[in-house]
């Protein structure tokens, strides 16, 4: 039987899926976030479609004392993995099963039991892929022409989560371009030609940005007293950014104490309200 781990140990989770495993991993990460600072170590085992493949993963889970989370829709495979986990005394979580079962009872219908239905190659899927490619292409204002093509334009000083936020919104099918604001560099003309309603300014407190930049310098093996993390320099950058956002007349969000998901939620709600 698996024993409890200490918060200083890694929580190992093996995600078994008959598709890519994205759904299972997302649920596991969301749940594990409630137990910070436990360090999460996830390994995906995608496109599992046989008992033999399941057995191989279960052997690894026993050896490494990993938790099993699975998204299998074929009833025989679901039953097998639950039975085996019980016999082997493994912690095993059926991510989709209970939801599918309850939907069947509520709708009076039987599930199709077809793997990969969430990620089928439909119009929405291709739109998401296109948005991700767009976010990569126009990240950090590599090509200012993307500003006029984007659904959302993010502006802010360095380390205000512009890139991760761009990618998160891309997974929601929004084409996002982002523009770093630096006092010594003139913003591209396209920024002033774009519709202010699609521009979102990201502001942050001096204290928070100072801490983030010091950690960034430390991770790069650089001196945390560098000008990049200097309080006076940061204040100058933020003052410049706020002034520019005022000139643009754009929506401004304070990201000082917000996770990327929270900021994205505010942006999505804002655009939803704009389009009503």
- Binding-site residues for ADP sit at 156-163
Are the CB atoms for 188 and 245 separated by under 8 Å? no
Nearest to 235 by CA among 159, 157, 171: 157
Are the CB atoms for 14 and 60 separated by under 8 Å? yes
Could you please report the per-residue DSSP string of 41-76? EEEEE-S--SHHHHHHHHHHHHHHTPEEEEE--SHH
Q: Both tokens of residue 100?
A: 């599918």
Q: Which residues contact 162 (CB under 8 A, 6 or more apart)?
A: 140, 154, 155, 156, 178, 179, 180, 202
Rounded (10°) CA dihedral 87, 88, 92, 97: -30
Q: How many helices and strands in the chain, by DSSP H and E? A: 11, 8
Q: How far is CA 76 from CA 45, 48, 88, in A?
A: 18, 13, 18
Report the largest interatomic distance among the alpha carbons of the chain, rounded to a whole angstrom.
66
Q: Which residues are annotated as a binding site?
A: 156-163
H or E element, residue 98:
helix 97-107
Are the CB atoms for 267 and 169 separated by under 8 Å? yes
Report the Cα–Cα distance between both ends of the chain, in Å, rounded: 54
């Amino acid at each position: 039987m698996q024993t409890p781990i200490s918060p200083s140990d890694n929580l190992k989770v093996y995600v078994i899926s008959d598709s890519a495993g994205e759904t299972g991993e997302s649920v596991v990460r969301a749940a594990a976030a409630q137990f910070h600072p436990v360090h999460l170590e996830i390994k995906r085992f995608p496109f599992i479609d046989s008992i033999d493949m399941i057995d191989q993963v279960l052997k690894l889970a026993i050896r490494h004392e990993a938790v099993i989370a699975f998204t299998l829709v074929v009833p025989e495979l679901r039953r097998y993995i639950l039975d085996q986990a019980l016999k082997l005394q493994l912690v095993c979580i059926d991510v989709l099963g209970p939801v599918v079962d309850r939907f069947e009872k509520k709708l009076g219908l039987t599930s199709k039991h077809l793997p990969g239905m969430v990620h089928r190659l439909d119009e929405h899927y291709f739109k998401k892929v296109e948005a991700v490619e767009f976010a990569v292409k126009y990240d950090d204002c590599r090509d200012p022409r993307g500003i006029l093509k984007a659904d959302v334009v993010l502006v802010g000083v360095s380390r205000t989560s512009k890139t991760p936020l761009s990618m998160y919104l891309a997974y929601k099918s929004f084409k996002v371009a982002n523009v770093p604001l630096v006092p010594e560099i003139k913003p591209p003309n396209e920024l002033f030609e774009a519709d202010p309603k699609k521009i979102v300014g990201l502001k942050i407190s001096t204290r928070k940005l100072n801490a983030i930049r010091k950690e960034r310098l430390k991770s790069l093996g650089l001196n945390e007293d560098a000008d990049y993390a200097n309080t006076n320099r940061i204040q100058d950058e933020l003052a410049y950014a706020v002034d520019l956002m005022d000139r643009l007349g754009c929506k401004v969000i304070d990201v000082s104490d917000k996770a990327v998901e929270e900021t994205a939620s505010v942006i999505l709600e804002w655009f939803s309200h704009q389009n009503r």
